[in-house]
Structure 1
């Protein structure tokens, strides 16, 4: 189960949705790791993430777990936290893809004026279709899951066709992990930097049990524009929070019960 949380943390770090955060809030949060005492300020997740243009294409990713903390241990710990020590400083490699999609602007009616708008873009009054960069989430999730669990450890990853914020992972043994993004925020400190955070609700279901929790993934990406091969480096933290169904929910009082920090390296395929 804990491996699945690691998978979803990685997946969500590459499919975040879009809502602007106050300048510097997320960058400051990453700099304060591991002294996190609450979730970040986010807004309700709507729509999809529009990534910077420099993230378009297919990438070879190396993700390395470099730190892990259980802030409330030994009083409260999550299943498998200690076992995850086997992942420490062990690079995991997989492929991800970011693609261009064509989106129609939304129509909003104001007194005497019509505006066509699209979340994450400027207002448009011409009704044109505008290209955006988004994550190929099913492709990315499947590749990441297989890299961690093995070629036979994951059956499929699908995006709910009725809800782009709902990711469904099917596993052997009639097991299923459903992750639904509920809140997001982002920052763009400069033209070569992109920071985003999201909160997701997770449900792991088997024939004998259902396990709930919440996961935050906050990631800072930086494009290496002058590198010989186009590449991106990332600093990512996945924080696990107890769900209201957990008997220790009130004892945790909103604090994360597990923190995992990763270093990411994305190199574009030639």
Structure 2
């Protein structure tokens, strides 16, 4: 993102121009994300004008490690919370990313139990994943839109996924939008020796749009809102 200084003032001014451009893009994305949250649950199929699906979701550095997640349905608070483990690690570019297959499988096990067999990433794309379940049932997931802000203090992102559920003799398409906002829990204070990581708190807004792919007039047919808390674990 930053241009190395050199070759007199020309490159200096060019670097300043580009940094301001990135700041403008980030500002526009933040506005888009805030609008999505404010519009929930009255959501229509999003238009990701600034989407870049060539890059994975990047998390703040304090996400690195293993976490026990408790997800509570806010709309239907009588529902039992879903509890699962997730992992975030440093990739070859020194950026923190989620272990997509492992994390998806962990969530799937918490929801589907023994019905889930495995989750497999597409080795050719970070955006494609297949979830295999019993009885020849599998779900093909493809991320078609992704927006996030770059901020060390907060994780704020939106993804649109086309899910195709396949079972013998039938297939069904659904579009799912997930808006996620995470930050360090405000009540948490780091231990003096920094051996304990602060918990992470956040909210996920989920909207389903059905099978009419790309139609911006489509209104969400189902919405959910979840409160999540991440507690650091050693393994």
Specify the alignment match of 1:140 in structure 2.
103
Within the candidate set 70, 88, 101, 2:91 is matched to 101
Within the candidate set 50, 55, 58, 1:47 is matched to 55
Between structures 1 and 2, the one with greater helix share: 2
> Are residues 1:259 and 2:223 paired?
yes
Displacement of 1:191:
3.5
Aligned CA RMSD, in angstroms, stands at 2.3
Correspondence list, 1:110-121, <5 A: none
Correspondence list, 1:169-208, <5 A: 169-188=131-150, 191-208=152-169
> Are residues 1:155 and 2:117 paired?
yes
Q: Could you tell me which runs of 5 or more consecutive residues in structure 1 were left unpaired when the two chains were aligned.
A: 1-18, 68-84, 104-130
Specify the alignment match of 1:244 in structure 2.
212
Return the structure number with greater relative CO, CA threshold 8 A, min gap 6: 1
> How many residue pairs align between the two structures?
201
State the alpha-carbon separation in 2 of the partners of residues 23 and 201 from structure 1. Answer: 23
Displacement of 1:40:
4.9
Within the candidate set 172, 185, 201, 1:211 is matched to 172
Query: Under a length normalisation based on structure 2, what TM-score does the superposition of the two structures give?
Result: 0.78
- Whether the 8 Å CA contact 2:61–2:152 is kept in 1: the answer is no
Specify the alignment match of 1:127 in structure 2.
none
Query: Under a length normalisation based on structure 1, what TM-score does the superposition of the two structures give?
Result: 0.68
State the alpha-carbon separation in 2 of the partners of residues 173 and 240 from structure 1. Answer: 25
Displacement of 1:35:
2.3
Displacement of 1:24:
3.0
Q: In 2 relative to 1, CA 38–211 (structure 1 residues): closer, same or farther, beyond 3 Å?
A: closer
Specify the alignment match of 1:90 in structure 2.
80
Q: Could you tell me which runs of 5 or more consecutive residues in structure 2 were left unpaired when the two chains were aligned.
A: 1-24, 191-195
Specify the alignment match of 1:64 in structure 2.
72
* Cα deviations by residue, 1:25-77 (Å, 9 ceiling, x for unpaired): 2123213322223425352411312211011110000011112xxxxxxxxxx
- Whether the 8 Å CA contact 1:39–1:254 is kept in 2: the answer is no
Displacement of 1:253:
3.1
- Whether the 8 Å CA contact 1:24–1:187 is kept in 2: the answer is no
